[in-house]
Amino acid sequence: MRAAVRHDRGMSISVGDTAPEFSLPDQDRQVVSLAGMRGAPVLVVFYPFAFSGICTGELCQLRDELATYTEAGVQVVAISTDPAFSLKAFRAQEGFDFTLLSDFWPHGAVAQAYGVFNDKAGMALRGTFLVDAEGKVAFAEVNQPGDARAQSGWKDAVSQLAAA
């Protein structure tokens, strides 16, 4: 699966690419893999840091509008380079009903595979990828730090996938 990963600096994966495989611990240290979710679309949301202002706002909006995704059969995972114990506290504090994954070690390896790792800051950029049931990228968007995402694009991509 590694062949699908582009290693060009700053180049994220694009629509039509095979999504890079990953296996990461969730907030309860249970390993979650993209392969294990195959058969249903997956919204993969990278974010810089748990508990930070913009990230909390984005993930709270995702929490509040989660039915938009789950009713369309989409699984949602949010990935940061925070350790699992931070994610557990973040999830509990904010009442998130979706999985938080820790890309802590090797530090940012999955964010790097998706082309959304800021190696100077040691964090993920705001990358959002909708992976279809076969593992292909159906939607890709990358926002810079401090640039909050408009989630309407994600919902449009989910409806287009559902209509296809």
Active site residues: 55
| Burial per residue of 130-145, b for 16 or more beta-carbon CB atoms within 10 angstroms, e otherwise | bbbeebebbbbbbbee
Is residue 156 within 8 Å of 143, Cβ to Cβ? no
- Alpha-carbon distance of 42 to 114, in angstroms, equals 14
The sign of the dihedral angle between the CA atoms of 86, 67, 62, 16 is positive
Q: Would you say 47 and 87 are in contact if contact means Cβ atoms under 8 Å apart?
A: no
